[in-house]
Structure 1
């Protein structure tokens, strides 16, 4: 059994184990798992509207997953994707509200503002890591809370006059399309999915097909060896965090310019950035893996909304299944040991 095949099979087994244990929990709790999963399927694929919502849901998951995965491939753990996501959302909406420009200028400018905002927010922990060796996990966690409260302050005191809602962005800055809405029975599907797919290609191409990507991965594997080979370790640490933050900021633009088309004061985190960690783990920190992992999360999140209505099963059970999947992915060492034993028996 090849190493590549094992890396593909491991997350699949983790998903199956999560579903199996989730099914057992349903049975013990007195729910019908067949009815629950049927309701979940119908809630995700039963109507064209639901399909549109699934695609809309997993679009920011792809980008948040790429943000986590990119940093991890370079040896960094970016827990601050949620904060970078929030500042990207706010920056995109601010440009969408403050300016009234032709669409060909306004929309790219709003998207660029989100990317720059996320990149700058990630630059801070990247700089602290590179210059002072401050652990990025601690800094990025704290930056999440700073982003949440700074965003709320700016919405109340800069974008609005003590209001809790920025108001809708100008139509020239929206990612939505009347054509997409019409073919999906007026779901909130928008063109952001194309940007997410392009971002997957960019991450793959940058890491696997460029000299800079080789340097970034080398720093992730062994900083001392990379430095001995003449690579600028500090520069690559900062660059990797900036690129990771750019993906997260773009994910925020998907919500600000596509799903909601406004920014509002939040009482807590959106959860997209934290879900991005699970998406990246399940996707094996590869661009293609993140893409398919995000699809699974989108299906589960949207389909779960139908479970209480059709099967009388609380949709929190889907969160339990997702948590179990992440647990089995995190403990994938045991899965790999199991696969190694199977492959050895096949050789004999």
Structure 2
């Protein structure tokens, strides 16, 4: 019997194990049609509820490494709001050095005044530092259709008659991008691939005929240092921006602290009075206090004042000492956002134990 696949996540449909990908009750499977979806995708689509399933990180890497056995165009999507956190530096090796185009998604999250020329300059440097040298780099917004026509024309010309594999870390917008293409160029009025804010929605490859070849959606690769991998769905909603980020500016003296909800803490230890311009999702609350009060506040008021992520019992903040050079630089809190600081400044960034803060030239 021919295998049937869930049109939403790509899993092989099966009725024997509810904990495995692709589960669907046998009664529903008997009524199947070409648009059938598994129980997990059904619950996700209609109730925004994600059911736990057993998929390992090795499963994802094995799927991606199969691209290396083909002659294809690899389209890697990264998140403009979490550039370094959503990179896959090993993508060239995993795909056996197939041609690669990089799409930088979610342009709509940054202020409209930001120069795309300046963004591209920074992006080329960041990619080069990770030994990534794509044929082309494009800035786009799959959700808002920004630059989609240019992107589609470019990847169509570059791919020729080759298949196009869309790859990326979890939650960068791969499935949203493919749905946008289908709506724009294939007269599709509805989302075909399941899209959600939850990490790891796509579980297997989803192969869609397009022109004379296929566009193939792949599962998102888990980067261990993405904070979203360690948060509950409720906390993930808080940290995930859905519209243009409005900068929030704080003028700080040394010996002051900023709490980013309970997700992170930034101590301004030494330096002249300066600006901390924060770029985080609107639902994230920023609380300023004296450094001398910070420990007590975190210990005794984190659940009410700081809105500590309640369901993350193992959530712990680890301090990292950093020196902001003279001039304008960004302090990156992977998966959360960034703070533009005018240095020099000595800071201590307290972040989730699996993530690592770092400094880059100011993006904005």
Q: TM-score, normalised by structure 1?
A: 0.25
Q: Which has the higher contact order (CA 8 A, sep 6+)?
A: 1
Structure whose residues are more often helix by fraction: 1
Structure showing the higher strand proportion among its residues: 2
